[in-house]
Structure 1
Amino acid sequence: MGITEDIADDLARETIDAMDKLGDDRLFEEIAKSIGASSQTTEEAFLTAIRVRLAERRARKLLAERLAAGSS
């Protein structure tokens, strides 16, 4: 990846961790707004990384649930 994507992905990971710790599932919107004030390109990369990582989380949870239900 390029520097923009690397930075955005690192920030996305940290933001998701903070969302979990704070119980604030919309924190990423505030962070994205702050990023967008300086760099729309970085904001878009950040939001893409957030969406991908949250989608992966949901998919892994569903997979684990289905596997657990299938093994009972």
Structure 2
Amino acid sequence: MADFIQDLADGLARDVLEGSKELEDLFFYEQVSKVIGASSPTLQEAFMTSIRIRLAEKRGREFLNKALQAKRDGAKLPEPPREAEKGGH
């Protein structure tokens, strides 16, 4: 059952993040989370985990691309954001 829940949550997270662009609301996932949570706190937590992981991966990829571009341009490598020092999951 856990794989089923995670698959549902991750699929929804992917779609919500994509839909957020069209809606021009980068935090639309918070509203979806409330809707899910009213019926299934288990699905809500899996959804939010997927959202956090996908957003973290996006930030990490953007940082990698900036660092590679800086290296190619002979520029100073970018500093990681201060929030990265706090840690996470």
Aligned residue in 2 for 1:9: 10
Residues of 2 paired with 1:21 and 1:69: CA distance?
A: 31
Residues of 1 paired with 2:68 and 2:21: CA distance?
A: 24
What is the root-mean-square deviation of aligned Cα atoms in Å?
Answer: 0.9
Give the AA of the match of 1:69.
A
Aligned residue in 1 for 2:26: 25
Mapping of residues 1-72 of structure 1, within 5 Å: 2-72=3-73
TM-score normalised by L of structure 1: 0.96
Structure 1 consecutive aligned stretches of length 4 or more whose deviation exceeds 3 Å: none
Aligned residue in 1 for 2:79: none
Residues of 1 paired with 2:15 and 2:26: CA distance?
A: 13
Q: Could you report, residue by residue, the CA deviation over 1:6-58 in whole angstroms, capped at 9, with x for unpaired residues?
A: 00000000000011222201100000000000000000000000000000000
Give the AA of the match of 1:71.
R
Residues of 1 paired with 2:70 and 2:45: CA distance?
A: 37
TM-score normalised by L of structure 2: 0.78
Total equivalences in the alignment: 72
Give the AA of the match of 2:30.
E
Runs (5+) with no aligned partner, structure 1: none
The structure whose Rg is larger is 2
* Larger RCO of the pair (alpha carbons < 8 Å, separation 6+): 1
